[in-house]
A = this chain, B = another copy of it.
Amino acid sequence: MTPYNYTLLCDYYELTMANGYFVSGKGDEISYFDVFFRTIPDGGGYAIAAGLEQVVEYIENLHFTEEDLAFLRTKNQFSEEFLDYLRTFRFTGDIYAVPEGTPIFPGEPILTVRARAVEAQFIETFVLLAINHQSLIATKASRVVRAAGGRPVAEFGSRRAQGADGAILGARAAYIGGCAATACTLSDRMYHIPATGTMAHSWVQMFDSEYDAFRVYCEMYPDNATLLVDTYDVLRSGVPNAIRAFQEVLLPRGITRCGIRLDSGDLTYLTKKARKMLDEAGLTECRIVVSNSLDEYIIRDLIIQGAQIDSFGVGERLITAKSDPVFGGVYKLVAKEDAQGRVIPKIKISENPGKITNPHFKRVFRIFDRTTDEPIADMMCIYNEEPIDVTKPLEIFDPDNTWKRKQVTDYYLRELLVPVFIGGKCVYDLPSIGEIRAYCQNEVDHLWDEIKRLENPHKFYVDLSQKLYDTKIRLLASKGTDYDS
């Protein structure tokens, strides 16, 4: 399917500012913007980057149609020269980004744009929207999947998603974060997220009896028979009827793999009872799937209580990230180039220390323990600093508590921001969705458990190189810009 033309999915002020830059002659000044976020949703210890593929699609498809220009003309705010310029407008700059599926932390750039001011400013809204939305859901999914402790989690939330993309791309992000499948058929068709599903209560109600509904389903889908057992009474009607249908339809065909689903009631109590009934009927391979307003906290509690659950369907609380539904990525100017092409760092001051930006065109390195391959910290450097000498010990500070520090000796580095667009051309091979998901799982597996606690996790250090730190302090003191040293 052709991607929509989302060129006009921009805050209106991007256009008035672009027109302003264009008319005032500032449009061609090279500027640098960082996307970063300030707090991890749900008080977690890490977030998962996602949405880059949609940024790539957007940038490649970026153009104004004649109808778009005609529409803008009706606003009576844009010069004809500017509208004429938009007719051939394309993104011609550079974008660096963290690959999808990477654990990310507050304060560090997850995407950096270097482009003419008019272009860099224009793409702000969509870039943020794509990264914020999918990173939110991938992060939530990672929490839910982690709580499920290895039991598969399917994303079931389309009907409660915030719009069609909320469902389609939400399922994609949930898969990146570790979900095994989705209910959303279109996500499978468009993004190869495996679609799955069982039956609704209405299926059971459509038949004269619950047993008939189960029998017909088993005959239709003997290899995928998961029966919803809570339409009437789980233990007195649903499970017995399911057992009878399995015994009469599946077992004679030699099929022992089947399932029941519960979508209401006390899931700990009911699954324990149901498990016992299934086992006593010899259906030890029958899996128990549960759903009903689940999230990572309820899943954790169900498992602690010994609920007999083989897999989870998670709906509205995942697809909307209900407990904390905003990923607060921002897009901030961090540098400009002067007429001589020197990079001049810029800072945004705020009364709130958390809102002060990390200035400059930066590179970000993840520091790994050479023995365990576990990440120890991230380090932001100025783009043209001499590289970190990995043969020497490295001292890392927690920038929020500079008295806290640690020294690492046996480590290696990986650069986090990779080139995605150079001179407007995409230079990045988009990985397959399966590759992204496997990469994410491996990265999360290697995070310290302390960082993966659902509540009150250990804080991962994101440090600034000495040079970058000094620059930031100097800019704060002068409250403005500063020439690159």
**Which residues on A are within 8 Å of B, measured CB to CB?**
1, 4-6, 8-17, 19-21, 23-24, 26, 29, 31, 33, 68, 71, 75, 77, 117, 121, 124-126, 128-129, 132-133, 136-137, 156, 158-170, 183-186, 188-189, 195-203, 205-207, 216-217, 220-221, 224, 231-233, 264-265, 316-317, 320-322, 325-329, 331-333, 336, 346, 348-352, 355, 479
Write out the residue numbers on chain B whose beta carbons fall within 8 Å of the beta carbon of A333: 201-202, 205-206
Query: Are A336 and B206 within 8 A (Cβ)?
Result: yes
Query: Are A479 and B13 within 8 A (Cβ)?
Result: no
Supplied contacts A132-B160, A163-B163, A163-B164, 20 more A-B pairs, CB within 8 Å: A4-B4, A6-B164, A9-B167, A11-B185, A12-B184, A12-B188, A13-B183, A16-B224, A68-B189, A77-B221, A121-B200, A124-B159, A124-B200, A125-B159, A129-B160, A132-B159, A133-B166, A163-B166, A231-B348, A322-B325
Query: Are A170 and B159 within 8 A (Cβ)?
Result: no
Query: Are A162 and B136 within 8 A (Cβ)?
Result: yes
Q: Provided the pairs A24-B216, A117-B206 are in contact, do residues A9 and B316 lie with their beta carbons within 8 angstroms?
A: no
Q: Provided the pairs A4-B1, A184-B9 are in contact, do residues A232 and B162 lie with their beta carbons within 8 angstroms?
A: no
* Docked complex Cα distance between A6 and B154 (Å): 21
Query: Are B20 and A203 within 8 A (Cβ)?
Result: yes
* Docked complex Cα distance between A326 and B323 (Å): 10
Top 9 A-B pairs, shortest CB-CB distance = A163-B165, A13-B197, A12-B197, A128-B159, A162-B162, A12-B195, A8-B186, A11-B183, A325-B325
Considering only CB atoms, which chain B residue lies closest to A156 in the complex? Answer: B11
Query: Are A33 and B202 within 8 A (Cβ)?
Result: yes
Quick one: which of A9, A20, A23, A136 has the most chain B CB within 10 A? A9
Min distance, Cβ A35 to any Cβ of chain B, angstroms: 10
Write out the residue numbers on chain B whose beta carbons fall within 8 Å of the beta carbon of A19: 220
Write out the residue numbers on chain B whose beta carbons fall within 8 Å of the beta carbon of A326: 160, 316-317, 320, 322
